[in-house]
Amino acid sequence: MASGGIKDGTSSSGVWIFVDDSNLWIEAKKLSASRRHMETYEDPRIRINDEKLQEVVADNRHVNKGTVYGSGPKKIWDRSRWSVSTHKRSGITGKEKKVDTQIVADIVELVCSPDNLQKGNTVIIITGDADILPAVRKAMERTPWKVEMRMWGSSLAEEINQESHLYPGRLSVKTLDEDIDNILFIDYVFNKTKRRKGDLLPNNAVVLVNPEVGVDVPMSWKVEMDKECLYPFRYYQDSRLDKSDKLIVVVFFLLEDGLDYMRAKIQSSSDLSLNADYVLTYSDYFQYKTVLCKYYDDDSLEEGCPYGDMCDYAHGQADASCIKCRKRGHLTKRCPEP
């Protein structure tokens, strides 16, 4: 661009980007669940690629500044790329009205300063919330400012679309839908180090015992699980302390009931079970003692176990649980069922 500027008085094609973090992420979770035809209203695994988001909306223009607003923007926002403005939710309503107010105030301050036009005249706002319209209208009063509204098509307020018809050429509305696969991704890995009391595992997890899988779980399995189970899940790979079993622990989210149904569904399909020896609920596998304590042989005590009743392993057959018939009183290798 020529150093003398362009006809509208600006001397640069730079843009400013304002992101409503909660609006973007909450609506993305809903959209992901809908696209995958899930039984849940949202997919909590969804994550935003902040670099791709900025690339898509900037569209090869220089970003003067990108700011993210929310009650607690996720760690995904790269602080070298984004400025983060954090505001507490209302203790009464849980709403983020202070976030909306701050975005409006910052945009108004930007467009009311003539010096900013030396860096560009375009404001990009990533939200579908009509509460942003006061800022949009203020920008429209300040020629030659332009505003680009970006959000998922399913969550754009109709008032925003209607407003765009009043300012052709200066206020544009475009969905992010065509770039959704670049902007969003699913975090399939469950972080077991963050477990707390009352965690998800006992009532929401299924264990694949000795599945036929290498170091990395194939993407085809994750896709098939999404398709067949219709509930969001994460997983982690593990093993028994004595390394006797290799495990994939599948943790379902928003599954209020039906864990036994999920276990049976996975067990019935080799594509889902990865040809595991057994598929059990987390409680069935870990609550009961399926491996013999090293201080015992099959029937009698060899020497005293230092852990006593706190031992995670079976003290003889009577203390053991079978992962084949799911009964107590014998180890799996002695199961009487064919």
| 28 and 155 housed in the same domain | yes
DSSP state of 69: E
Using the 3D structure, point to which of 129, 154, 185 is the last residue of a domain: 185
| 161 and 201 housed in the same domain | no
In sequence order, what are the residues at sequence separation of 6 or more whose Cβ sits closer than 8 angstroms to the Cβ of residue 333?
Answer: none
Peptide bond into 144 cis (omega under 30): yes
Residue 92 confidence (pLDDT) = 41
Beta-carbon neighbour count of residue 232 at 10 Å?
26
User: pTM here?
Assistant: 0.79
Assigned domain for 116 exists: yes
CATH number at residue 119: 3.40.50.1010
In sequence order, what are the residues at sequence separation of 6 or more whose Cβ sits closer than 8 angstroms to the Cβ of residue 256?
Answer: none
Using the 3D structure, point to which of 158, 185, 212 is the last residue of a domain: 185
CA-based max dimension of the chain: 93
In sequence order, what are the residues at sequence separation of 6 or more whose Cβ sits closer than 8 angstroms to the Cβ of residue 152?
Answer: 27, 28, 31, 128, 175, 176, 177, 180
Which run of H or E residues covers position 265?
helix 259-267
Residue 243 confidence (pLDDT) = 61
Using the 3D structure, point to which of 140, 160, 185 is the last residue of a domain: 185
Assigned domain for 4 exists: no
Residue 241 confidence (pLDDT) = 55
Computed on alpha carbons and rounded to an integer, the radius of gyration of the chain in Å comes to 28
| 99 and 165 housed in the same domain | yes
Residue 3 confidence (pLDDT) = 30
Residue type, 138: K
Contact status, residue 184 vs residue 159, Cβ threshold 8 Å: no
In sequence order, what are the residues at sequence separation of 6 or more whose Cβ sits closer than 8 angstroms to the Cβ of residue 91?
Answer: none
Residue 332 confidence (pLDDT) = 79
| 233 and 264 housed in the same domain | yes
Q: For every one of its 338 residues, what pLDDT tens digit does the chain have, with 9 covering 90 and above?
A: 333 333 444 546 899 999 999 899 999 999 999 999 999 999 999 999 999 999 999 999 999 999 999 876 566 788 888 998 887 655 444 555 688 899 999 999 999 999 999 999 999 999 999 999 999 999 999 999 999 999 999 999 999 999 999 999 999 999 999 999 999 999 999 987 765 545 678 889 999 999 999 889 999 999 999 999 999 999 999 876 556 789 999 999 999 889 999 999 999 999 999 999 999 998 888 777 777 887 776 555 555 787 776 676 788 888 887 877 777 788 878 888 87
| 84 and 65 housed in the same domain | yes
C-alpha dihedral over 66, 101, 91, 94, to 10 degrees? -70
C-alpha dihedral over 192, 194, 195, 199, to 10 degrees? -110
Cα–Cα separations (whole angstroms), residue 8 to 57, 110, 237, 240? 22, 17, 59, 69
| 176 and 259 housed in the same domain | no
| 164 and 26 housed in the same domain | yes
| 38 and 170 housed in the same domain | yes
| 213 and 275 housed in the same domain | yes
Assigned domain for 9 exists: no
CATH number at residue 287: 3.30.70.260
Total domain count for the chain?
Answer: 2
230: phi then psi, degrees, rounded to nearest 5: 65, 15
Please give the residue range of the domain that contains residue 201.
188-334
d(CA 248, CA 208): 5
